[in-house]
Every structure is written in structure tokens, then in C-alpha cells.
Amino acid sequence: MAYIKFDDSKVSKFVHENEVPEMQAMVNAANTELREGTGAGADFRDWLHLPSDYNKEEFARIKAAAKKIQNDSEVLVVIGIGGSYLGAKSAIDFLQGDFYNAKSKAERKGGVQVVFAGNSLSASYLHELEGFIGDKDFSVNIISKSGTTTEPSIAFRIFKEKLISKYGKEEADKRIYATTDAKCGALRTEVEAEGYESFVIPDGVGGRFSVLTPVGLLPIAATGADIDQLMKGADDASKDYVDTDLTKNDAYRYAAIRNILYRKGYVTELCENYEPNLRMFSEWWKQLMGESEGKDQKGIYPSSANFTTDLHSLGQYIQEGLRNLFETVIKVKQPPYNVEIPMDKENLDGLNYLKGQSMNEVNDKAYEGVVLAHNDGGVPVMTVEVPDESEYSLGYLIYFFEVAVGISGYLNGINPFNQPGVEAYKKNMFALLGKPGFEELAEKLNKELKK
């Protein structure tokens, strides 16, 4: 029996009883493409067995590096974009909470503050980040397979210079941790020349699937989180989600149902939560789903909402807007903390009927009420419930969605493991910035901009 609970009872009005079984043959075929490597993008399936088949020596070095960072730094600056930061950021928020960086070192139990750079081209953000670091001791984890991606490369130049200015070249080199390609690329060349401690981004794991590689593991470990349990949760999920039977494999069932809904015109999926520290998990999920499925003029559009907050902004649209969306709620059965609602003598807000109840109880009733209202309003709702916010649960949840999107992509007849569309804007940006080799395109673009 799977560790997390998948509830699809609130799609029964939209998916007929026979439709899921009718998908079984297609799921079997998609499973063959995924497991046997007969589908498109087969070279990027190493994440499938990653939770058990990883470099144990490197894993030990990651834990040792995290300890060193905790001992000599107050802050770890993680430089990367897309999958090179979303997974780590979502995991740290999930495990450590929204205010982790505001806690004292004692409250963080020795974990360092982790901040992220190189995920935008905003000078204002970078300025504020430098102000946050101030005179604190810090280290840098640069994450880039090529070492030439614009956003992280600019940020690395700036923080490398700051390290050298503060510590000198020799000590600065000891505070730089590079996660990059094993053999080639600009960053690998620099690693070999300067002697930075380095970790490998596996060739067969795309960026959006890389959170359980050194890409995510070093920043997560630097906070003191138990990455052994993180991998254990993912490993157990990898064993639980191999049966192709849609009555037994919830990850495959989720993939099948979302494809049924998509073919009926439900083209937008909202990933929702009822805990603010899961916001970034939705951001990771959006890249996983959008970059995997949005191609060949096909694919479900991934969006997100944070409840109950967004019920006061998006709730009206979800309830009564275009009937082209469905919801996937990530629910935590037992959040780490609870607060009892107190009595108020005056009762001006009329809430004394809640006296003695817990906020978690109220949050649960909000979830139940929202599901019923949205369902009545014509919105299919699925729920993925995890028992708690532990490392084990997170690892399990990550794998659930990874294997689901692999199956879902093949069900829709696309390659779920490439991302050709993300290169289009880069070419235009390089041309407009005057990068050598883009002169002809620059001339064309400048003419278009002047129209």
C-alpha cells in the first residue's frame, strides 16, 4: 500500500466509470516506453532509479561538505536557475518552514541560512541579497551544467569577487562548491583549474528531475535536514509505483485521470496547498509539469494557488469562471505545529463558537468546504495527502510527481524529457546583447523592434 493517499472521488462527475479502465492499455504502453527506454528522451530517465542507484561516495562527501559549511559559514549562497534552485528551495521551505532564515543559529540547530541567487537578472534583488549577507561569513554553491547560463554566471562572477575580497583567493576557493557536469563545460574547466570541491550533475537526469542529486542535496543538507531519509522516501516510492494496474498505482492513475480531463477541455491544472511553506513546492511542480508536457502545441497548463489565502483573490474565478481547469491539492495530514483558538470575552468577531478548536481543524474544514463548493461549481478536484512534513514524506512526494509526469507525457504523445522551447528567448537575448555570433539575428530583431 502506498505511503501517501490519493483521492480522486471528486472527479467522478467528470470522468465516467468506464474511462479510467479504458486508459489501461495506453498506460501499459506508456509504462513500456518509460521503463524499457523505448520512448522519446530515453537518455534522460536515470532519475527513475536514482533513489537507490546513486554515488554513495559522493553522497558522503555532500554530507561532509554540508558540515564544513555549517562550521565556517553563516550563509550559503546557492546560485542556479530553474531546476538548479527550485527543488532545493521547495524542499527547504517544506522541511524548515517560512521563517527559517530569520531564526537564530541555535534555533536552526546548526544549519546555515540558505539564500538563492542567479535565478533572475534583477540588480535590485542582488543588491538586497548582498545587504542581507553583509559581514556574515558565507560560502557559495554554484550549480550549472554548462557554466555559461547567463543568470547564474553573472551572479557567480559577483559573489566570487566578493569572496576573494573578503577572504583572499586561497580561502575563497575553499568556500566555493561547484555542482556541474562530470567532464566538460566552462564550470568544469574552472573547477579543474581552481580546485573547487565539486559534485556531479548526472548526464541522464534533466534539471527539473535533479532535486535528489547533488543539485538539491547539498543545499538541503546544509540546513541540517536528513537527506538519508529524503532518499529513503523516494526509494520506497520508486518500489511502490511500478505496478501498471490503475487500481493499484496511484501515480499512474493520477496521470491517466489528468489526461482524460485534458481531452475533455480541462486544459489548466491548479496545484494547491493549505500550508504556506508549500508555495515553493508548487513552483517546483510547475516547472516539472510545464517543461515536461508543454510542447508540440499540446499540454496541460500548470498553475498554482495557495489556500486559504488565494480564495480571497482567485476563489471567484475558480468557482464561476471558465470551466477549463481542474485542481490537484497537496494536503498535509499532520502539520508540524498547531494553535488553539482562544476565548474572547467581547466576541465582537463572533468567533467564540470556535473556542477550544485548533487552527488545523479549521484549516481541514476549509479544505473540505472548498472541495465541495468547487466541485459543485464544475471543477474536478484530486487530492494527494502526505502524512507529515518530514524528509521521508517529501522524498516520496517528489517521486510520485516525477513518475506521474513521465507516464502522462507519453500518454499525450510527447517527449517528456526535453525542453527545446526554452532556447528561443535565449537566442534573441544574446543577439540583442551583442554576443559574438549573433550579429545577423541582432540586425533582424532591431529592425522588428523599430517597427
Give the pLDDT of residue 186: 94
Architecture (CATH level 2) of domain 5-39+231-412: 3-Layer(aba) Sandwich (3.40)
Phi-psi region of 434 (alpha: psi -120 to 50; beta: other; left: phi over 0): left
The candidate with the shortest Cα–Cα distance to 202, out of 402, 55, 35, 301, is 55
CA separation for the pair 279, 317 (Å, rounded): 20
pLDDT given at position 422:
67
| C-beta neighbour count of 302 within 10 angstroms | 22
Q: What is the predicted pLDDT for the residue at 445? A: 63
Predicted local distance difference test score (pLDDT) of residue 294: 95
CA distance 37 to 203: 15
**What is the model's pLDDT at position 416?**
96
- Ranges under pLDDT 70 in the chain: 1, 421-423, 432, 442, 445
- Asked whether the domain spanning 47-225 has the same topology as the one spanning 5-39+231-412, the reply is yes
Residue 148: predicted pLDDT: 87
What pLDDT score does 32 carry? 98
H or E element: which one contains 109?
none
What's the pTM?
0.95
Rounded Cα distance, 391 and 396, in Å: 9
Q: Which of 291, 293, 391, 402 is catalytic?
A: 291
Asked if 396 and 377 count as a contact pair (C-beta separation under 8 A), the reply is no
- Selected catalytic residue, list 105, 355, 365, 426: 426
| Residue-range domain boundaries for the chain | 5-39+231-412, 47-225
Decide which of 3.40.50.10490, 3.40.50.80, 3.40.50.300, 3.40.50.150 is the CATH code for 47-225: 3.40.50.10490
Is 361 assigned a catalytic role? Answer: no
C-alpha cell at 108: 536552526
Instruction: Give the pLDDT confidence of 312-361 residue by residue, as tens digits.
Output: 999 999 999 999 999 999 999 999 999 999 999 999 999 999 999 999 99
99-123: pLDDT as tens digits: 999 999 899 989 999 999 999 999 9
Is residue 444 part of the annotated active site? The answer reads no
